[in-house]
Chains A and B, each alone.
Chain A
């Protein structure tokens, strides 16, 4: 163990944990009966899920006419929600892949839950384009399979098809990455369980033994998957932005979209991770593993990406003016001053101005401020997508087709419904799986535990460490 140990660096695990107490703390919640807080949350979430099932059924039964879309405003809340959810689904893989490559040890406390969140968010995102197809049962037409119509292939030049490949690849790779990380931890839960519970966890832990060779391969696999997931996560929102950027609609046809979308995705993803982490650490009493240090680090990422997004908004406005192209100028004038000015204000206020509070260390380390900020940011990022989609489509080239779009009750219920779907999945995940990566936390105990580093370092441990070097 020759990892550099700094007495200055803040510990990542507090409470002088041993390997066994880590197992107890993290696997414990899956073994006890659910707490009242969890049950109440689950009832609310399942109600949301029921609303989701109802509004999807309604949409399919009645048709897309039940939404308030029309000839020009053909994308509304559905694609807004799609882009919003995909964006949220970026933080998990960013935390687990990019921060793994950057050797950021603090990722260990939050990567498991963040990856779970990613997978559930992408599942929610995928719903919208599918339902928007109208005839959902023909959804498989989007895949290039040999068919009796020629075979007539899909259009590989279309960004919408790129999206199909990007989202499905992203979902698959994230799921594999997450599950491979879960296997050793499921084995830990298995070895603590008895009876039927043991059988179930034995099934899902794939026969993990903890052999040295398996760990070696597991680490090699994780590293390569991280290397693959890093460009993947950047490509996904890039391709989502191509849905807009490759069109010829003023306000969409901009080259700034890919980096701006990716920064926004990381921004909103981290905000959602904060929302969930603050609740999870409280409910499951994981304050020793998801510390203020973690929250502080994530707030720094939020501040950085929020400011990048802010620069992108201003750059867009400047370029629109500087281009001298009146349609582009009108598109941006319309965004700021047009009928949807309120959503532009919401976007600017929540995404650019409010995160500046995080320049203060005190604010970054305040749970309450972080929690409310994370909600603000998610609202702001939703507005961003809405601004881009609705304000642009409501004022197209032909003034006679200008109109004002507001969602029908079905669209609103569908959005609330996906929140229910997301929460239900997350709450079930909290019950059945260790929400913090047990094995990885044990791996950083000696370099991140507060009895080894930081101000509360114990002298006998310090002595032991130095003798082993």
Chain B
């Protein structure tokens, strides 16, 4: 999904504590934050930003359930319907012996499914080149970004003022 480029006003902070205070302040001031970027997961940030809890584990459960059922039912079908063979005089439907493979396939489906889901919903993948605001965001800078596409001069100035007031080291505009 290649979108039209947007004008982004962003401020770079030096520490996650300062960033958290700034985000809190922005929420109090009812400023609409486009996104917050950080070099590592900042704890408590998702609560302050009001992000809903990730539902990726629910997806994982569903994938796991699919894996579990398909493995178990497939083995049952093979050994009771498609080609029943007697192994060591044991019953065709020897459910206990199916447990190891059922477990492995469950884990496989859940893991692969979740990882694929993760990259898909994040818009990431091999060779994908998402625009970034600043190279130092993956190093030691914490960034609050505002979408200023439709903002007039005075609104932009207010946002700039907010960023400098809350302790941003640098404030820049970039279109991504």
Contacts and interface: CB of A to CB of B under 8 A. Distances in A.
Interface of A: 1, 3, 18-20, 23, 144, 150-153, 155-157, 159, 161-162, 165-166, 169, 172-173, 176-177, 180, 183-184, 187-188, 190-192, 202-204, 206-221, 224-225, 228-229, 231-232, 235, 239, 242, 438-440, 442-443, 468
Nearest to B55: A220
Contact of B124 (A208, A219, A231): A208
A257 to B, nearest CB: 14
A169 B105 contact: yes
B100 A235 contact: yes
B111 A176 contact: yes
Nearest to B94: A157
Contacts of A166: 100, 104
B172 interface: no
Contacts of A169: 104-105, 107-108
Given A172-B108, A214-B122, A209 B54 contact: no
A217 B107 contact: no
Contacts of A225: 111, 114-115
8 tightest Cβ-Cβ pairs between the two chains A and B = A207-B128, A19-B140, A207-B130, A220-B54, A191-B135, A215-B41, A162-B100, A165-B104
Contacts of B42: 212, 215
Contact of B108 (A19, A173, A206, A443): A173
A146 to B, nearest CB: 10
B30 to A, nearest CB: 18
A157 B90 contact: yes
Interface stretch (B79-87, B146-154, B160-168): B79-87
B107 A19 contact: no
Contacts of A184: 39-40, 138
B107 A212 contact: no
A159 B98 CA distance: 10
B2 interface: no
A206 B83 contact: no
Contacts of B16: 1
B100 A239 contact: yes
Interface in B114-147: 114-115, 118-119, 121-132, 135-140
Contacts of B140: 18-20, 23
Given A169-B107, A207-B124, A208-B124, A192 B135 contact: yes
Contacts of A232: 104, 107
A203 B90 contact: no
A173 B127 contact: no
B97 A157 contact: yes
B139 A191 contact: yes
Contacts of B107: 169, 173, 228-229, 231-232
A224 B56 contact: yes
Nearest to A156: B75
B48 to A, nearest CB: 10
B139 A20 contact: yes
Contacts, number: 189
A228 B110 CA distance: 8
B170 interface: no
Contacts of B82: 151, 153
A159 B126 CA distance: 36
Contacts of A192: 135, 139
Residue picked from A20, A165, A184, A221, most chain B C-beta under 10 Å: A221
Given A19-B140, A169-B104, A203-B126, A218 B41 contact: yes
A443 B44 CA distance: 13
A165 B128 contact: no
A165 B97 contact: no
A208 B37 CA distance: 11
A161 B98 CA distance: 11
Nearest to A464: B17
B11 interface: no
Contact of A156 (B57, B64, B79, B128): B79
B137 A191 contact: yes
B38 A210 contact: yes
Contacts of B87: 155, 157
21 contacts: A1-B17, A155-B85, A156-B78, A165-B101, A165-B104, A180-B118, A188-B39, A188-B138, A191-B135, A207-B124, A211-B122, A212-B37, A215-B40, A218-B118, A221-B54, A224-B57, A224-B110, A225-B114, A228-B64, A235-B100, A440-B40
B115 A176 contact: yes
Residue picked from A3, A151, A228, most chain B C-beta under 10 Å: A228
A392 B132 CA distance: 61
B45 interface: yes
B49 interface: yes
B118 A443 contact: no
B139 A221 contact: no
A345 to B, nearest CB: 34
Nearest to B35: A211
B72 to A, nearest CB: 10
A147 to B, nearest CB: 11
A217 B46 CA distance: 10
B128 A206 contact: yes
Given A172-B108, A216-B46, A224-B56, A156 B97 contact: yes
Given A1-B17, A157-B94, A225-B114, A220 B56 contact: yes
B1 interface: no
A217 B56 contact: yes
Given A172-B112, A209-B132, A228-B110, A191 B138 contact: yes
B130 A209 contact: yes
A1 B43 contact: yes
Contacts of B64: 228
Given A169-B104, A172-B108, A221 B40 contact: no
